[in-house]
Amino acid sequence: MYGWIWRKLPGTTAAKVGQCVLIAAAIVAVLFLVIFPWLTTHLPIDQVTV
């Protein structure tokens, strides 16, 4: 999977590294701001009320 992505990215090695960093940052942002907050509301953790 990662090899396929690497080959698809255009430009020099430096450009590819830069794009990988950007993609990783975008994925982390979506996880932290959307997916994980949604997930915690559906998991039986950190519940403190009766």
Partner 1 sequence: MLVTVAAVLALFAVYQLWWTNVAASASERQAQTQAEALFAGGTPATWPDGVPPTGEPFALMYIPRLKSRVWGTPVIQGIERPQLAAGIGHYPQTAMPDQPGNFAVAGHRATNGEPFADFERLRDGDKVVVRTSQSWIVYELKRDRIVTPNDVWVIKPQPFHHDPLPSDKIITLTTCHPRWTSTQRWIYWGIQVAATPASGPAPAEVS
Q: Which of 20, 18, 21 is nearest to 4 (CA)?
A: 20
Binding site for partner 1 (CB under 8 A): 1, 28, 31-32, 36, 39-41, 44-50
Nearer to partner 1, 4 or 10 (CB): 4
Residue 15 Cβ vs partner 1, minimum distance, rounded to whole Å: 23
Residue 33 Cβ vs partner 1, minimum distance, rounded to whole Å: 10
For residue 45, how far is the Cα from the chain centroid?
22
Q: Which of 26, 20, 25 is nearest to 8 (CA)?
A: 20
Nearer to partner 1, 10 or 44 (CB): 44
